[in-house]
Every structure is written in structure tokens, then in C-alpha cells.
């Protein structure tokens, strides 16, 4: 039987010939440059068979190539097997970037096709600049994958609901007023495409994107009014009246593309080129002066207010109860019953569902046993699902959305006796994790300044991991939220060089991955805060939010410094004091042993 991806590539190439398109670009995005997208927008997955959240495919008549980052190298290699699509490992030495590939593989005067609604302005400008040297034109009006995807699901249109002030901390009126204050010196209007930013401003949540509680829409804000372009049937009458009372007018989602018209001629509009799609940009540019900058909502959204921080601590307490119950269950049942990667993930979800105000997972749970733990973003399928055995590591990366906030935690759990090397690798990762949690730094530093703290114990042994050390986390929004992060490499996006502000929540997740053997990753969420001030300025540190014990049986005590042991013992004491009362007697006894001082 012909590989399904090969079959679909053949149909796409036939359509490309008819449209006189020499190369076609298929991206992972929806019309809002979201990281995770609903099934309707998974064109790249449909065409190539690669299911990772990040990746771009270029299809020519004689070849096809897919780029993805280090999180997905092993997964992509497996899923692309037999498809005829070549894997390009993004960021690796000697690997051509997408733009350079197009220049070197397309003839002068060729035509590149792409659905411009899925292409951000920033990326469009970068590609256009590169292709200019060979007079290669770009067609933005073609959704060719949509033309061959006969059973494509409809665009989601789930009910939208309002987030109460007791959870949001600030009203939508206050947030809109802040935007208008910023606009005074920037432009006549801002047009926001990022779904999380719109949800934050309007204090609404939805269910249009898997694991991200947002609603499809665009938002225009000027000095007098705000217009929310959303699917009308998704908004109930009561919420509609609330929004209208706060000066928010609702219009149909598709009217956004016709919003820019003659009446705005000569006025200015402020756009985030990383989030705005190229078709919106083209419409705006036709009538208005376009001003570039990141969304005015990004920084205040990332800098959590006192109410959000207070709530998110409650969310982490609930999540810790679920995780501790799960780890206890796993360790006491792995000998007695057949537990697979998928059934373990389902059990963990069940524990979370038992917590008050639980909304749903913040991403698809990763349970990677033994060698599967070495695949950074492994996703178990019916074909790969293996049973857990009372030996080796199992890596569990999971998170939840609660009304009180969003969680994200990774624990690498020992299911039996470990070899010395496994304990050594675990301890190196833990050392870096603890050092970053203990970091004290001057205000003005970005996560890029701090990333090496977590990598140093690994680097000293000439080891490393091929992903960022941490990412920002939203409040009942995206589990990956810019601009704060810990990264060792400069990227094109300005967002990742943002200084760390008090109230930003960032993950702390160093790791090590041995292909074919096992993986180790340890992840907590931390909130940054000011902890001191001197004549040299303000100094910052972190408050760890996650409250789940580390794998005591995998720690080589002698490899930890005195300060690292002190921090670890204090953390474990807090875990037992906070979570112990919420457990039954057997679970509490286990937790007491798991958190004993080293």
C-alpha cells in the first residue's frame, strides 16, 4: 500500500502544476500564529504525517522537506519514514534554513505558494527578502492542502465564557484603558491577532484550541471603542451584554479581513508582526500606516497581578495533590498490574479531575518509559504504547488548567533499581535545576543571561540538552507564554530576550536524553520576584510554585553541594507540610519517606 503522505503529496503536486506553483509551503499555524491549533488547521500534519506541534514543510515537484526543532528530531524521523519527505534538523550545524533552501532549490522567476493567513508578517518579510535575489514571487491566496483535504473538520466554535474578577484580578475596562494609554504615543489603533492576548484583555476563555482555553477571534482597539471579531454563536446573550456595557462591540469573525477600509485612510495601526498574519497585514497596509511592535498586551499579561499569583499558588497545591497520589499509585502498582504509558497518563488525568475547579490538561501528557523518555516530546500511540516495568526511569511531563491558574510539571520516576550512571545523570540535572531555582540576579537580566546556570553541571561533563531550559506560562491560557524564557541560543524573535519582571512565571526544566536508553527531565514552575535592593540596584530571585517531591532514590547525595542539599531539604519539608494533610494515611506515610532530609 502506498504511503499516505506520498499519496497526498502526489495530489498536491498535481494541483501545484495546474496553479503554476513551483514550491508550496505548509506551516503549523492557524490564522493567529498559535503554537497549538485545532484539527481544522493541522494542514502540515495531514500532508506529512508528522504530528509534532512545530514544523514547516516545503513541497517541490521532485522533493519535499520538513524542518523541526530538537524536541522532535526522533519523533519526526520515525513519523516521516517511507514518506519521501526529508527531515531537516533545525538549528543543527550545516542544515539550511527554510529561506536559504528555497533560494538554492528554486529557479529564477519561480513562484512560491502559501496560505497567507497562516504566515506571520515577520516570516513573510524574511522569506520575501531572501527570494528577492532570484526574483521569486510569492502567492498568498492559495490553500492547496485545503483543496485536497476532503474530510477536513469544520473550524471550531465552542461556547465562550467569562472569567470572574476574583480569578482575573483586573477588569476588562481597566485592561482596555491601559492599552489606550499606551496607544497615545504609538498609533490610532491596535489590531490584536494573538488568541491568548484577546482572552486576557476581555477576561474570557473558550475551547477552540486543544489544551488552550481560547476562542478564535481578532480584536481592534482604538481610543473610543473595541471591536471583537468572533463567531457570533459562540457568545451567549449575557456575556454579550457584559461586553457591550464595557465598550466591546461584537462582529463576525470573517469581517476582520474587511475591517480596514476608506474611513481609516491616513490613520495608523499598531501590529505585532510575529502574531499578525500576512493577509491581515496586506489589508491594513492598503489603507493605514502600519507601525510595528509586539502586542501591547504581552508584557502585562506575562506579569501576573497579586490576585493571579495568589490563585496560581492554590492551583499548584491542588495539582501537587494529584501528582503525589499518582506517583504513589504508580510505585505501588507497577509490580501488581499491567500499566502502560497511555493508561498511566489516563490515571494521572483522573487524579487531576478529582480536584476542585479543574478545567482540563494544559497540554497532552507525556509518559515516556525507558528509551521513550529520551524523545523530548514523545507522544504514545497505540503502536508505540509500552508497558511499564519495575526497573528504569519513566518520564512524566504533564500539566493542568484550573480556574486558579495553569500548571506544568515534569518528574522522572524510578520504577526499580537504577544503575550508578542513571543516578549520576539524574543528579546532574537536579543540580542545575536547583542552582537555577536558587539564582539571585540583578534586575534587568533576561532568561538568556541565566540559562547557563542550569546547564553548567552538565557542561562540566561535556553533556547538554537540545531544548530551552524554561518557558513562560500563562494564567489559564497557553502553557507556553512569551516573552520570558530561559534559552542558551539567540533566536530571531525579540520576545525571548525580555528581561525578567516580578510576577513572571517561568518553567525550570533542564534534562539529559540518551537515545535508546532513557531520558531525565525535572521541571518546576517559578515566579520571579524582587528580593533585595542596594546602591547597585534591585535584585531578583524566584519563588518555586510546584510542590512535588524529587526522586530521592535517584539522588547521589555526595554530588550535591551543601547549599544544594539545604535547598532540597527545605523544599521537601515544605512539600510535606503543605501536601501531607491532603492525602490519605498510606499516601502521607509514603510522602514522609520521599521527603526525608538527605
Digit-coded pLDDT (tens) for 218-254: 999 999 999 999 999 999 999 999 999 999 999 999 9
Residues 26-52 have a mean pLDDT of 94
Q: Dihedrals φ, ψ of 67, to 5°?
A: -105, 135
Residues 320-349 have a mean pLDDT of 97
pTM of the model: 0.94
Q: Compute the mean pLDDT over every residue in the chain, rounded to the nearest whole number.
A: 95
Let me know how many helices (H) and strands (E) the chain has, helices first.
18, 28
> Where are any strands of DSSP class E within 330-407?
358-361, 366-369, 393-398, 400-402, 405-406
pLDDT at 490: 67
Q: Please report which confidence band the pLDDT of residue 261 belongs to, taking 50, 70 and 90 as the band edges.
A: confident
Interatomic CA distance for residues 495 and 152, integer angstroms: 33
Q: How many CB atoms lie within 10 A of CB 423?
A: 17
DSSP state of 273: T
Q: How many CB atoms lie within 10 A of CB 286?
A: 12
pLDDT at 492: 55
pLDDT at 218: 98
Exposure letters 158-170 (e unless 16+ CB within 10 A, then b): bebbbbeeebbbb
> Where are any strands of DSSP class E within 94-213?
111-113, 137-139, 161-162, 189-192, 204-205
At what angle are helices 585-594 and 562-579 packed, to 10 degrees? 170
Interatomic CA distance for residues 52 and 44, integer angstroms: 10
CA-based end-to-end distance of the chain: 58
- Over 70: is that where the pLDDT of 2 sits? no
pLDDT at 327: 98
Q: Please report which confidence band the pLDDT of residue 353 belongs to, taking 50, 70 and 90 as the band edges.
A: very high
pLDDT at 107: 95
- Over 70: is that where the pLDDT of 565 sits? yes
**Distance of CA 294 to CAs 22, 130, 272, 482, Å?**
33, 23, 4, 11
List CB contacts of 90: < 8 A, sequence separation 6 or more.
Answer: 67, 68, 69, 70, 97
pLDDT at 497: 63
Interatomic CA distance for residues 19 and 113, integer angstroms: 9
Q: How many CB atoms lie within 10 A of CB 360?
A: 15
Q: Contact 33/274 with Cβ under 8 angstroms?
A: yes
- Over 80: is that where the pLDDT of 24 sits? yes
pLDDT at 91: 84
Which tens digit of pLDDT belongs to each residue from 271-295?
Answer: 999 999 999 999 999 999 999 999 9
Which tens digit of pLDDT belongs to each residue from 200-220?
Answer: 999 999 999 989 999 999 999
> Where are any strands of DSSP class E within 275-334?
289-292
Interatomic CA distance for residues 415 and 30, integer angstroms: 40
Among 97-101, 163-167, 474-478, the minimum mean pLDDT is found in: 97-101
Place of cell 504508580: 330
Helix (H) or strand (E) holding 58: strand 56-60
Residues 528-557 have a mean pLDDT of 98
pLDDT at 1: 39
pLDDT at 495: 52
- Over 60: is that where the pLDDT of 496 sits? no
Q: Contact 550/291 with Cβ under 8 angstroms?
A: no
Instruction: Show the cell assigned to 535.
Output: 546602591
Q: Which residues pair with 60 in a beta bridge?
A: 23
| Exposed/middle/buried for residue 597 (C-beta within 10 Å: 0-12, 13-18, 19+) | exposed
Counting residues of the chain whose pLDDT is more than 90, the rounded percentage is: 91
Residues 447-454 have a mean pLDDT of 96
Residues 406-416 have a mean pLDDT of 98
Q: Contact 305/503 with Cβ under 8 angstroms?
A: yes
Interatomic CA distance for residues 306 and 548, integer angstroms: 23
SS3 549: coil
Instruction: Show the cell assigned to 205.
Output: 476563555
pLDDT at 453: 98
Q: Please report which confidence band the pLDDT of residue 493 belongs to, taking 50, 70 and 90 as the band edges.
A: low
Q: Contact 410/395 with Cβ under 8 angstroms?
A: yes
Residues 27-36 have a mean pLDDT of 94
Residues 161-176 have a mean pLDDT of 98
- Over 60: is that where the pLDDT of 533 sits? yes
SS3 74: helix
- Over 70: is that where the pLDDT of 333 sits? yes
Interatomic CA distance for residues 54 and 29, integer angstroms: 9
Amino acid at each position: 500500500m502506498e504511503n499516505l503522505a506520498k499519496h497526498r503529496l502526489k495530489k498536491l503536486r498535481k494541483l501545484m502544476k495546474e496553479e503554476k506553483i513551483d514550491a508550496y509551503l505548509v506551516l503549523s499555524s492557524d490564522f493567529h500564529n498559535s503554537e497549538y491549533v485545532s484539527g481544522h488547521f493541522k494542514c502540515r500534519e495531514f500532508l506529512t504525517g508528522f504530528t509534532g506541534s512545530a514544523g514547516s514543510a516545503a513541497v517541490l515537484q521532485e522533493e519535499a522537506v520538513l524542518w523541526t526543532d530538537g524536541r522532535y528530531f526522533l519523533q519526526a524521523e520515525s513519523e516521516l519514514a517511507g514518506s519521501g519527505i526529508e527531515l531537516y534538523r533545525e538549528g543543527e550545524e550545516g542544515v539550511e534554513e527554510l529561506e536559504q533552501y528555497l533560494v538554492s532549490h528554486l529557479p529564477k522567476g519561480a513562484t512560491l505558494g502559501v496560505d497567507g493567513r497562516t504566515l506571520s508578517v515577520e516570516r513573510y518579510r524574511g522569506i520575501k527578502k531572501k527570494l528577492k535575489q532570484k526574483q521569486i514571487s510569492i502567492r498568498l491566496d492559495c490553500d492547496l492542502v485545503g483543496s485536497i483535504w476532503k474530510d477536513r473538520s469544520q473550524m471550531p466554535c465552542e461556547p465562550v465564557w467569562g472569567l470572574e474578577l476574583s480569578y482575573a484580578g483586573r477588569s476588562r475596562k481597566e485592561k482596555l484603558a491601559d492599552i489606550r494609554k499606551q496607544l497615545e504615543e504609538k498609533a490610532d489603533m491596535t489590531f490584536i491577532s494573538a488568541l491568548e492576548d484577546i482572552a486576557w484583555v476581555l477576561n474570557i476563555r473558550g475551547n477552540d484550541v486543544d489544551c488552550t482555553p481560547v476562542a478564535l477571534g481578532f480584536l481592534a482597539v482604538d481610543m473610543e471603542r473595541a471591536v471583537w471579531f468572533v463567531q457570533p454563536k459562540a457568545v451567549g446573550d449575557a456575556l454579550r451584554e457584559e461586553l457591550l456595557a464595557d465598550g466591546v462591540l461584537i462582529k463576525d469573525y470573517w469581517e476582520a479581513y474587511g475591517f480596514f477600509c476608506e474611513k481609516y485612510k491616513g490613520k495608523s495601526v499598531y501590529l505585532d508582526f510575529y502574531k499578525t498574519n500576512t493577509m491581515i497585514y496586506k489589508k491594513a497596509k492598503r489603507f493605514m500606516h502600519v507601525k510595528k511592535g509586539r502586542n501591547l498586551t504581552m508584557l502585562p499579561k506575562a506579569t501576573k497581578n497579586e490576585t493571579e499569583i495568589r490563585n496560581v499558588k492554590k492551583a499548584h497545591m491542588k495539582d501537587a495533590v494529584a501528582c503525589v497520589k499518582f506517583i504513589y499509585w504508580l510505585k505501588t502498582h507497577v509490580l501488581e498490574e499491567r500499566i502502560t504509558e497511555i493508561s498511566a497518563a489516563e490515571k494521572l488525568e483522573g487524579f487531576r479531575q478529582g480536584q476542585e475547579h479543574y478545567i482540563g490538561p494544559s497540554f497532552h501528557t507525556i509518559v515516556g518509559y525507558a528509551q521513550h523518555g529520551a524523545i523530548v516530546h514523545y507522544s504514545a500511540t497505540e503502536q508505540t504504547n509500552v508497558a511499564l516495568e519495575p526497573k528504569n526511569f519513566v518520564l512524566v511531563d504533564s500539566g493542568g488548567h484550573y480556574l486558579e491558574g495553569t500548571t506544568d510539571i515534569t518528574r522522572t520516576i524510578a520504577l526499580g533499581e537504577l544503575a550508578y550512571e542513571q543516578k549520576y545523570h539524574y543528579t546532574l540535572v537536579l543540580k542545575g535545576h536547583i542552582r537555577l531555582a536558587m539564582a539571585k540576579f540583578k534586575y534587568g537580566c533576561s532568561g538568556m543571561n541565566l540559562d547557563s546556570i542550569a546547564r553548567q553541571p552538565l557542561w562540566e561533563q561535556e553533556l547538554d540538552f537540545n531544548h530551552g531550559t524554561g518557558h513562560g506560562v500563562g494564567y489559564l491560557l497557553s502553557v507556553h507564554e512569551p516573552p520570558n524564557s530561559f534559552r542558551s541560543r539567540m533566536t530571531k524573535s525579540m520576545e525571548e530576550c525580555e528581561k525578567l519582571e516580578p510576577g513572571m512565571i517561568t518553567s525550570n526544566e533542564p534534562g539529559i536524553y540518551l537515545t535508546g536508553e532513557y531520558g531525565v527531565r525535572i521541571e518546576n514552575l517559578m515566579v520571579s520576584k524582587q528580593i533585595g535592593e542596594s546602591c547597585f540596584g534591585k535584585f531578583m530571585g524566584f519563588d518555586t510554585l510546584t510542590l512535588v517531591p524529587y526522586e530521592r532514590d535517584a539522588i547521589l547525595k555526595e554530588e550535591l553541594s551543601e547549599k544544594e542539599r539545604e535547598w532540597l531539604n527545605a523544599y521537601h519539608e515544605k512539600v510535606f507540610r503543605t501536601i501531607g494533610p491532603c492525602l490519605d494515611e498510606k499516601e502521607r506515610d509514603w510522602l514522609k519517606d520521599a521527603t526525608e532530609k538527605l
